[in-house]
Amino acid sequence: MKTLFNTALSVIFVGISLVSCKDDDDYETIQSTEKVKIDSVKIINDTMSVFSVQSIRTYSTYASQCDGFYGYDYIHTGNFTRDVTAYQYHTNGSCAQANHVSANQINFSPQQAGTYTFKFWTGNNTWITKTIVVE
């Protein structure tokens, strides 16, 4: 009985090992990430209340279908100042070299009243500046 159990366990282990070693090239992997320029920013309301939520949309242009939005670097540079940099990913796929624009968003929920300044990176140390007054 013990030998039968050990044999069955060995067969299961080998089966799992073979499945997990499967060479599957049907997917693309991210090769790198880097900053991407923010072309424009849309803020619906330039005045809002404390603890409310507002979506801030950013738009960036990507060079191919293998490129896309990866995430934001959202830095508090003071009590009321935020520096926002967007990042893109590059995959190893075979993609068309056609520009495409992507819209992404940050949900801003201020915890205190004040005048907030957002600076969005547009490349070469230049920024789009937007202000939101929180009452």
Instruction: Kindly indicate whether the domain formed by 25-134 is annotated with CATH number 2.60.40.
Output: yes
Give pLDDT, residue 104.
Answer: 97
| Span 52-84, pLDDT tens digits | 999 999 999 999 999 999 999 999 999 999 999
- Count, in order, helices (H) and strands (E) of the chain: 1, 9
Residue 19 pLDDT greater than 60, yes or no: no
Using CA atoms, how far apart are residues 110 and 133, in angstroms rounded to an integer? 10
Using CA atoms, how far apart are residues 23 and 46, in angstroms rounded to an integer? 52
DSSP calls for 26-72: SS--EEEEEEE---EEEES-SEE-TT--EEEEEEEEESSTTEEEEEE
| Span 82-129, pLDDT tens digits | 999 999 999 988 888 889 999 999 999 999 999 999 999 999 999 999
This prediction has a pTM of: 0.77
